[in-house]
């Protein structure tokens, strides 16, 4: 996607992002939180997750996102395109928004990602997301 480089100054150093990564059986767990979500924050978040997933050699990730705001549809679309560029085809991404957000918008993001060859799904709970990742 043209227009934003997630490694550019001011993007990678998006302020006040808190990351936690855990290796779990068969997948990477990634938790990201901060005071506000926007395109720069999302680009930074997803690039960090893609880098960590590549480092581990895994192809499945459960992402727990904890931001108090919901970004608009245009940003969701742009982030979806970035995810397709950042992750290899076939990667499975289970996404849980702790603030619930707008489920329709989050599902729209999953549609963009799926159209690009990355398997994404949105869940209301960590347990459901984990079950999907494991194929239960």
State mean pLDDT over 10-29. 79
Domains of the chain, with CATH numbers?
Answer: 18-134 (3.30.750.24)
**pLDDT above 60 (res 8):** no
User: Which residues, 6 or more positions from 92, have their beta carbon under 8 angstroms from its beta carbon?
Assistant: 27, 59, 60, 61, 119, 120, 133
Percent of the chain with pLDDT over 70: 88
pLDDT band at 11 (very low <50, low <70, confident <90, very high): very low
Helix (H, G, I), strand (E, B) or coil at 131: helix
Task: State the residue for tokens 């893609």.
Answer: 50
Q: What is this structure's pTM? A: 0.87
- pLDDT of 77-130, one tens digit each? 999 999 999 999 999 999 999 887 678 888 999 999 999 999 999 999 999 999
Q: Return d(Cα 136, Cα 132) in angstroms, integer.
A: 6
- The whole-number pLDDT of residue 6 equals 47
């Amino acid at each position: 996607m043209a227009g934003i480089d997630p490694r550019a100054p001011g993007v990678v150093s998006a302020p006040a992002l808190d990351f936690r990564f855990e290796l779990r059986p068969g997948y990477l767990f990634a938790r990201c939180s901060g005071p506000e979500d926007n395109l720069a924050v999302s680009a930074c978040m997803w690039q960090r997750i893609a880098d960590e997933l590549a480092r581990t050699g895994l192809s499945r990730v459960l992402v727990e996102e904890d931001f108090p705001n919901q970004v608009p549809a245009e940003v969701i679309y742009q982030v979806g395109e970035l995810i397709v560029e950042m992750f290899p085809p076939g990667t499975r991404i289970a996404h849980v928004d702790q603030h619930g957000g707008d489920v329709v918008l989050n599902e729209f993001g999953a549609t963009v990602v799926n159209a690009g060859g990355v398997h994404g799904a949105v869940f209301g709970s960590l347990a459901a997301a984990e079950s999907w990742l494991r194929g239960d």
